[in-house]
Amino acid sequence: MFPPCGPPFFDQRPVLQTAMHLAVKHGDTTMLQFILKQGAKTNLKDRDGATPLDLARKYKKTDMVKILQAINTESGKPVKSKNNNISQ
């Protein structure tokens, strides 16, 4: 039986995170570099509208921010990010 406030709320929307999102979220630089070498797109957004670069900034993964920015500079394609601040 559920408490009087009702059943717990479970967000059932899909997470929509790529392997790159997860590598950044978990701080796995080796995996990030592997994924990038395979040609993965860096500007895909998760369900909250965050790119891997946004997550790197959010979780203060400055090494990953530098890697992602360097990749985007090399390709000539700017990553669309919610915020351009590292210190966010």
**Hey, where are the domains in the chain?**
19-75
Q: How many CB atoms lie within 10 A of CB 33?
A: 14
From the list 66, 73, 80, 82, the residue with the least C-alpha distance to 33 is: 66
Secondary-structure class of domain 19-75 per CATH = mainly alpha
Q: What are 82's two structure tokens?
A: 């919610």
pTM over 0.85: no
Whether residue 82 is predicted with pLDDT greater than 50 in this model: the reply is yes
38 burial (CB, 10 Å; 0-12 / 13-18 / 19+) is exposed
Q: Span 4-19, mean pLDDT?
A: 71
Chain centroid to CA 47: how far?
A: 11
Q: How many CB atoms lie within 10 A of CB 56?
A: 28
Q: How far apart are CA 65 and CA 39, in angstroms?
A: 17
Mean pLDDT of the chain: 80
